[in-house]
Amino acid sequence: MRVKLGLDNIIENDFKELKDKRIGLITNASGITSNLEMNIDVFLKNGLNLKKIFSPEHGLFMTHQDGELIENQKLKDTAVEIISLYSSKRAPSKDDIEDVDVLVYDIQDVGLRFYTYIYTLRYCMQKASECEKEFIVLDRPNPLSGNVIRGPMIKENLESFVGGMRLPIRYSLTPGELALYIKSFDKLDLDLKIVKMENWKRDMYYDDTGLFWNIPSPNLPTFESVICYVGNCLIEATNISEGRGTTRPFQFIGAPWIDEDLLYHELKNKNIPGIAFRKRVFMPRFSKFSNQKCNGLEVFPENKEADFLRFVIEFLKVVNSLWPNEFHVKINEEGVSFDNLAGTDSLRKMILSNVDTEEIIDSWKKDEEEFEDLIAELKLYR
C-alpha cells in the first residue's frame, strides 16, 4: 500500500491539531501531499490561520542554489510573510514567532547528516522551546530506509550547519524520529507532537513507498542521485567537480586535470560491488569549473543498497595516487570543509595515507553501534 504521509493524516483528521491556532509553517516545495498538493494551498483553502512561512536553504520554491542567501518575501496574493532561515539568520527570532501559537515542520529529508534542513529543524525547535511554543512535525519517509546506520558519529569540535548532534552520516531516522532525538539531545522543554505516517516500514527505501519522487533540493533530482550523494557529497570539499551545474549532480564527477581513461581503468581494478560507471566528459554551467571541460566518470547505483561511501573512499584514494600534485582536499578554508562533512579528521588522513578501505569502514563500527543504542527508544515505526 502507498505510504500515507503525516500531512495526509492531519488533513484526514480535519486539522484538529491546528484548529483555532496561529500557525508558523516551516516548509519548502517538498511539503506536498501524496497527491502532490502543496501544504500551503491546503492550509489556506481550509481556512487555517497561517501567519508565517519559514523557508530553509534553497528557498521556499527551491529556486536558489546551495549557499545562496535568500531574502524575506510575501506569499503571492496573500499577506503571509515568507521568512528566510538561510539568510543572515538560521533560526526564527522571538519577534518572528511572537504572533504564532504553533510551529509546524513539513519538509522532505534525505536521511544524511550533512543536509542543512535538519539543522533548520533543530534551531526552530530550540526557539520554540525558548518561547514556549507548541511544535508539530508532519512525518515523512527517510528515503534511505530506517535500517541503515553508516559512518562515524561527528566529533563535537567539527559541529557546523552541515553536521552536528553526534549523528553518523546515515542516521536511519524519519524527520519525526529525528525531532525526538533533537529534543532528547538538546534537553529541550518542548511541547512536541509527531503526526505519524501510515504504512511506512523501516526497511523501505523511497521507491518502496508508492509515492512520486519528491525532489528535496535542486541538486537531488532523482532517487538515484540521493543514493550517490551518500558518499559523493564528500567530493564537494575537494577540487573535483561533484557535478553541480550539470544535468547529473553527484553522478558526474571529474576535473580538467584528470585523465578519464587512466581513472576509469584504475578504479575498474577495485571491483567495487553494486556500482557501475563509465568514462564521461562534461562541462558544468555553474559552480566548480564553470564552463570548463571536466574529465571523469558518470556513476550509477546498480541497486539501492549500493555503498557510495565505499566508492568515494576508493575514488579519492585512486585520484590521490594518480594526481598527488593536482588533488586538493579543503580544510580550514572558506566554504565547506572535508572534515566537517566527514565528521572526523581521521577519514581524510586515512584516505591520503592510502589505508585499506576495509580498515577505514571497520573503524566506524563502534560509532554505528553506539548510535543504534542511542535511538533504540525513539523509533516510531517497525
d(CA 272, CA 291): 31
| Residue numbers in the chain where pLDDT is lower than 50 | none
pLDDT at 335: 77
Cell triple for 286? 555553474
What is the DSSP pairing of strand 294-301 with strand 252-255?
Answer: antiparallel
DSSP state of 234: G
CATH 3.90.1150.140 maps onto the chain at: 223-344
- 201 burial via Cβ count (<10 Å: 0-12, 13-18, 19+): middle
pLDDT tens for residues 60-85? 999 999 999 999 999 998 999 999 99
d(CA 245, CA 222): 15
Name the CATH topology of 223-344.
Answer: Aspartate Aminotransferase, domain 1 (3.90.1150)
Q: What residues contact residue 294 under an 8 Å CB cut-off, 6+ apart? A: 241, 252, 254, 255, 256, 258, 281, 282, 283, 284
CATH 3.40.50.12170 maps onto the chain at: 6-217
pLDDT at 355: 98
* Cα-to-chain-centroid distance, residue 210: 21
3-state secondary structure of 57: coil
For 145: left if phi > 0, alpha if psi spans -120 to 50, otherwise beta; the answer is left
The whole model's pTM is what?
A: 0.97
pLDDT at 99: 97
pLDDT at 333: 82
Superfamily of domain 6-217 in CATH is Uncharacterised protein PF07075, DUF1343 (3.40.50.12170)
From residue 272, give the alpha-carbon distance in Å to each of 20, 120, 307, 337, 339: 56, 35, 9, 26, 24
pLDDT at 37: 98
- Listed in order, strand segments (DSSP E) in 107-219 are 134-138, 192-195
- When the pLDDT of each residue in the chain is averaged and rounded to a whole number, the result is 97
What is the DSSP pairing of strand 81-84 with strand 73-74?
Answer: antiparallel
pLDDT at 334: 78
pLDDT at 332: 82
